[in-house]
Amino acid sequence: MDCNPLSLTLCGVPLQNPVIAASGTFGFGHEYAEIMDVSRLGGISGKGLTLYGSSGNAGMRVYETPSGMLNSIGLENPGVQHFVETEAPYMRSLGPAVIANLGGHCEEDYLEGARLLNEADIDILELNISCPNVRAGGMAFGMLPEPAADITRRVKAVSRHPLMVKLSPNAPDLVAVARACESAGADALSLVNTFLGMAIDVKQKRAVFENVYAGLSGPAILPIALRMVHQVAHAVRIPIVGLGGIASAEDALKFLMAGARAVQVGTMTFAKPGAMLDIVDGLSDYCAEEKLQNLQEIVGMI
Ligand SMILES: Cc1cc2nc3c(=O)[nH]c(=O)nc-3n(C[C@H](O)[C@H](O)[C@H](O)COP(=O)(O)O)c2cc1C
């Protein structure tokens, strides 16, 4: 019997705890491995990949907001082939479960990216149909049930990895998109990606970001993300990974109680690099205080 109260399985993959580094906020782990014990994380979702890589967006890329931040990185990444050869083996050497986050500008990008990732030693493929910061594709696939189901079905058909689809909170009917992805074969869902926001420089009389709109993340979005996780958890049977503004073990517990089997932490890592390890410790303490044999006992209790 496994006596680690934080252990779980996600899509058949064993995780030592439910705390996963969110895509785009942890690189592939290199920088953080120098300053913290990354082997204690449950998983790491790498930077969002595109088939041929990208240098990302021009102009301002990050902008602080009350209790959060806006970003317009635009999926800067080294490309899938480089990931397969270099980053995936490195991520595997770190210990936590390895998640590859795949974006795309068109359907063929996603399919070819997923085929190439069959060569990679990863545990889960996270399909990013929710990036608000690329001009073509990205979030467009995640806005409506039909395109979301279509891309899920096609990627599932070519991929050998468990498929977790990352949803956009900007979808007009997120529950319908979640149900569509489940019907199309998704093994899990992660939600949420960033909320579409905007900043204006009043002195310069212009939008701060070249793309005008950007993605809002951090504690400011937590209550809305939590509500969305709760709604989706009541609508699907597949596991959910919840995220959006998590900064503490208490925040992580809220997402678990709302129905998430695991959580991801993004923006908080920028403010406090050790935040995820504090969350792991806090969850352990909670299990001891509440005399839980396994933390999963609280999943979906609300
Ligand atoms: C700077 C930055 C870059 C991001 N890049 C990606 C990405 O490449 N792929 C992705 O799926 N999500 C990306 N995200 C979204 C996060 O993974 C996460 O869904 C979102 O920030 C909400 O969680 P948080 O409030 O804990 O940051 C990015 C977020 C930030 C702040």
| Residue type at 212 in one-letter notation | V
Q: What is the pLDDT of residue 130?
A: 87
Q: Kindly report the backbone phi and psi dihedral angles of residue 59, in degrees, each rounded to the nearest multiple of 5, phi listed first.
A: 80, -160
Nearest 5°: CA angle at 18, between 139 and 242? 30
CA 14 to chain centre: 18
pLDDT tens for residues 178-225?
999 999 999 999 999 999 999 999 999 999 999 999 999 999 999 999
Q: What is the pLDDT of residue 174?
A: 98
With a cut of 70, which residues of the chain have pLDDT below it?
A: 1-2, 135-137
**Pocket, ligand 1, Cβ cutoff 6 A:** 22-25, 47-48, 69, 71, 73, 75, 101, 128, 131, 166, 193-194, 217-218, 221, 243-246, 265-268
Q: What is the pLDDT of residue 136?
A: 65
Q: What is the pLDDT of residue 140?
A: 86
pLDDT tens for residues 137-180?
678 899 999 999 999 999 999 999 999 999 999 999 999 999 99
Which residue, judged by its Cα, is nearest atom 28 of ligand 1? 24
Q: What is the pLDDT of residue 134?
A: 74
Q: What is the pLDDT of residue 2?
A: 64
Copy the structure tokens of residue 275.
Answer: 């935040």
Cα 280 to ligand 1 centroid, rounded to whole Å: 20
Cα 289 to ligand 1 centroid, rounded to whole Å: 32
Q: What is the pLDDT of residue 135?
A: 66
Structural domains in the chain, CATH included, are: 8-57+74-194+218-298 (3.20.20.70)
Active site residue 287: no
By the 8 A CB rule, do 94 and 158 touch? no
Q: Which of 3, 11, 131, 181 is catalytic?
A: 131
Cβ burial 249-258 (10 Å sphere, 16+ → b, else e): bebbbbbbbb
By the 8 A CB rule, do 145 and 176 touch? yes
Question: Considering the chain, what percentage of its residues have pLDDT values greater than 70?
Answer: 98
Taken in order 252, 253, 258, 260, the sign of the CA dihedral is positive
Atom number, ligand 1, closest to the C-alpha of residue 130? 11
Smallest Cα–Cα separation from 141: which of 117, 112, 108? 108
Which residue, judged by its Cα, is nearest atom 29 of ligand 1? 24
Smallest Cα–Cα separation from 43: which of 282, 297, 262? 262
